[in-house]
Chains A and B, each alone.
Chain A
C-alpha cells in the first residue's frame, strides 16, 4: 500500500483496509514528521487513527509543541496559547540551492521523480535543478527532461554514480548541492528544510534527511524496511568530531550509514570544492556498487565539520519490488560498506586501527550475531538475505582495488571531465 501522510493540523482521513503489503501512516505536525504509526489491517476511522497517533507518538508531539513554544520571538507561554501554525516553519531561505538528480536508463520511472521535483517549494530565483544523465544508452532520458522547462540536462558519459554526482557539482554555482535519486519523490518542503538546517548551523557541511518508503506493496518492500530501511528516526541530530583534539572519526562515527543515504543528502558546495569530489571508484555503476555517500559523510566528520540529520527534510523512496532486486541491493550494501572502509583506510592512515576494529566489530555484531540468532530462532528477515550481505562484505574487501583500476580505465577512455563537457546543457 502507498504510504499515507496525514497532517495533524487538518482533519484526519479514514484509513482503508490493507489489501496487500503493509499500511503505514506517517503523521506530520506543522509539516514536520513526528512518527509512523501502523493502523490495524482492517483499516480504521479518523477518530481511531487519532487515538492511535496520540498513543504511539504522543511524546514526539509533546516535544514538538514544546519546541514550538520556545521558537523565535516567542516565549514559553501557557498551554492554552499553543500556536496553531508552526512558528518554526523555515523562513524564506537566503541560500542558493542546486537540486541534483542522478539517473541512468530509467526514463520510464523518471517522470514520477521529476514531477515531485518540479513541485518543490523554493524561491525560483535561488533554485537550480540539474538532471545528470549517467552514461545513457539512448536519448529517452533527455526526452523526459525536455518536458520540464526549468530543469537543466547534463550528460556524464563516464559510467558510475559518483562521476554523475561530481558532474552536478561542476554544473552548479549554488551554495548548496542537494542530491536525490531517480527512484525518489521529494517532499514539497524538502529543499527549504535543508536550507534552514544549513542556516541554523553555520558550520554544517552536510545535511541528511529522512527517507520513508513510498509504497509497501510487495513483501520485498516490507522486508527492506524490516532490514533497517533508510529512515534514521524523527529527531534532529547534530554530529561533529573534535579532530583537533585527536578524536578519531572512525572510532566515534565510522558506521556512517547511521547518518542517512545518498537518496537524501546535501552539501555545501564550498566544502566539496575544498575537500575533494566524490570518489569515482565508489558507488553504483562501479564494481563497488555503493559507499560513495558513506565515504563523503566520513570526510565531513574527518574534516571537523558539522553534519546535521534533519528529519523535516523528507523524501519518499520507492524500494525494489521483487525479492531478487532486494537481495541484490542488500548484497550491494555489504560490498559498498566494506569498500568504503577499505577506501577510508587507504586515505587516512591514522584511522586504520579504528577502521579495522570497526570492520571486525560490524562483522561480529551485525552479521555473525544476527545469523546465529536466525539459526536458533528464525526472525522476519530470511537467512538468505543475511548470508547475501555477509558474502557481499567479503567481496567488498577486494572490490575497491578493482574499482580503482576501473575508474582509471574510464578516465583513460573519456579523458578528465572538463568544465564545458559536464555543463553541456541541452
Chain B
C-alpha cells in the first residue's frame, strides 16, 4: 500500500525538556501531529495544519503552548510539588514480557529491537509465543538473534491461547502483554510497572500512539479512536465497577497491546486466564482483554491507566485490513457483552446492546450525513454488520474452544495473597 500524500499526517515527537527546534522535514504533509514529551514523559499532542510548509520554531511553540497549556501547567505543578516522583516498584521484582506473534517476522524484530534498546534495572524475561509454529514459521529465526528471548509454541490458533500459553510459561511476578507490532518508548517498562508498588493495583495499561499515519486507513483508524485512551492518568476499581450505570465501559481502560498484570490474578479462581473464546484468531475477533479487565474489577481490584508508559503501534496500512479489524472489534464487543450477561449475569449488558449501541451508530451516521464528521459511512456499516454477527461469532468460538480444549493454565501457586481493600461482591 503506497503512502497517500493527501491524507497522510506527519507524526513527530518534540521533547520540551530540550530546545524546541523548527520541524523542517514535514513539507510533504498537509498536517503534522506532534507528540509532546517532557524529559520522556508524555504530555499530550497537538495537530498543526502546516499545508506542506516547514513549521517554524515560533509556530511550533505557540501551537504547543496554546494546545496543551492545561497539560503543561499541570506538568509544571507536578514537578514543582514533586508529584512525578512516584514510588517505584522494588527492583528485585521480576517481570516477564509476553509477545504473541504469528508470521510477522519484521514487526517482531522491530519490537524486540526496541525492547533491547534499554538496559532493565530488574530481572526481565521476554517470552515470544509462536501461534503458528512449524517448519515454515519465520519466528524462530528472529528469536534466535536475541539470545535472552525465550520462544514457546502454542499450536492452538487464537490470540488468547497464545497469550495464556506465554503467561503460563513466564516466571515473573508481573506479566506484561504487548503486541508484536508495537515499539516501546524509552523508560516504558519502569513507568508501566511503577503503579504495582501499590498493593491493590492488579493491572496497569498504557497509551498506544500511532507510529505513522501514512495511509488513509491508518488515519481512519486513529479517527475511529485508535488504541490509546488519552493523555490523562486515571484509575478504576471495584467501587467504580459497581457504581456504573449501564454496561461497564472496560473497553475504555486500555488494551493488551500495552498492559501489565500481577501474575497472581491468573491463579485466582475469581479472575482466571484470558477467555479463549474471545480474542483475535477466533470468530469473535477481540475483547479478551476487556473481559479480563471486567473480571479484575468485579473481583474488587484496581486498574491504573498511565499514559506516560506509552508504546508506538503501526496501524494496518491497507483498507481491507482496517475494515476487517473494525468488523472484528464490533463482533468482539457484542461477544464481550453477551459473555458478561451469560457468565456473570450482568444485565447491564442488555442496556448497551439494546439501546446504547444502536444509538451510537445512528448518531454517527447522522453526523456523517450532516458532514459533521469525517468517519466514513462504509466503516459505520462495517460496524453494524459486525454487531449483528456478534452472537453467532460467539457461539462459533465457544464450539471451537470445546473442540480444541482448554489452553494453558498457571501451574505455580503464588505465595502472594490476593488481599485487596475491597471484598468481592457481585455486580448485579
State the A residues within 8 Å of B (CB).
59, 62-64, 66-67, 69-80, 88, 200-203, 235-236, 238, 240-242, 244-245, 306
Contacts and interface: CB of A to CB of B under 8 A. Distances in A.
Given A66-B65, A240-B51, A79 B57 contact: no
B65 A78 contact: no
A73 B69 contact: no
B106 interface: no
Contact of A238 (B18, B59, B69, B73): B59
Contacts of A244: 52
Given A200-B56, A201-B56, A75 B69 contact: no
B6 A76 contact: no
A71 B61 contact: yes
A250 B259 CA distance: 49
B75 to A, nearest CB: 8
Contacts of B17: 75-76
Contact of A63 (B20, B58, B65): B65
Interface in B72-87: 72-73, 75-77, 79-80
Nearest to B22: A200
Interface in B48-102: 51-53, 56-59, 61-62, 64-66, 68-70, 72-73, 75-77, 79-80
Given A76-B76, A78-B80, A79-B77, 15 more contacts: A62-B69, A66-B69, A67-B65, A67-B66, A69-B72, A71-B61, A73-B19, A76-B72, A78-B79, A200-B56, A200-B57, A236-B62, A241-B51, A245-B6, A245-B52
Nearest to A202: B56
A45 to B, nearest CB: 28
Contact of A79 (B56, B62, B65, B80): B80
B69 A70 contact: no
A305 to B, nearest CB: 10
A236 B58 CA distance: 10
27 contacts: A59-B69, A62-B69, A67-B66, A69-B72, A69-B76, A70-B16, A70-B61, A70-B64, A71-B61, A75-B19, A76-B16, A76-B38, A76-B72, A76-B76, A77-B76, A78-B76, A79-B77, A200-B57, A200-B58, A201-B56, A201-B58, A202-B56, A236-B59, A238-B59, A242-B30, A242-B51, A245-B6
Contacts of A75: 16-19
A201 B61 contact: no
Q: Which of A235, A241, A242 has the most B CB atoms < 10 Å from its CB? A: A242
A198 to B, nearest CB: 11
Interface of B: 6, 16-20, 30, 38, 51-53, 56-59, 61-62, 64-66, 68-70, 72-73, 75-77, 79-80
A131 to B, nearest CB: 32
A242 B79 contact: no
A245 B73 CA distance: 39
Nearest to A64: B65
A410 B20 CA distance: 53
A235 B58 CA distance: 13
Contacts of A66: 64-66, 68-69, 72-73
Nearest to B60: A70
B239 to A, nearest CB: 33
Q: Which of A79, A88, A202, A245 has the most B CB atoms < 10 Å from its CB? A: A79
A72 B69 contact: no
A191 B72 CA distance: 31
Contacts of B59: 200-201, 236, 238
Contacts of B79: 78
Contacts of B53: 203, 240, 306
Contact of A235 (B19, B56, B66, B80): B66
The 7 A-B residue pairs whose C-beta atoms are closest, nearest first, are: A67-B65, A66-B65, A240-B51, A200-B58, A76-B16, A70-B61, A79-B76
A200 B57 CA distance: 8
Contacts of B18: 75
Given A59-B69, A236-B62, A70 B20 contact: yes
B66 A70 contact: no
Contacts of B51: 240-242
A67 B65 CA distance: 5
B73 A79 contact: yes
Contacts of B57: 72, 200
A71 B61 CA distance: 7
A2 B170 CA distance: 75
Contact of B73 (A62, A67, A235, A236): A62
B321 to A, nearest CB: 27
A79 B81 CA distance: 10
Contacts of B77: 79
A242 B52 contact: yes
Given A75-B17, A203-B53, A70 B65 contact: yes
A160 to B, nearest CB: 34
A51 B30 CA distance: 41
Contacts of A80: 80
A306 to B, nearest CB: 6
Contacts of B16: 70, 75-76
Contacts of B61: 67, 70-71
A66 B69 CA distance: 6
B231 to A, nearest CB: 15
A98 to B, nearest CB: 24
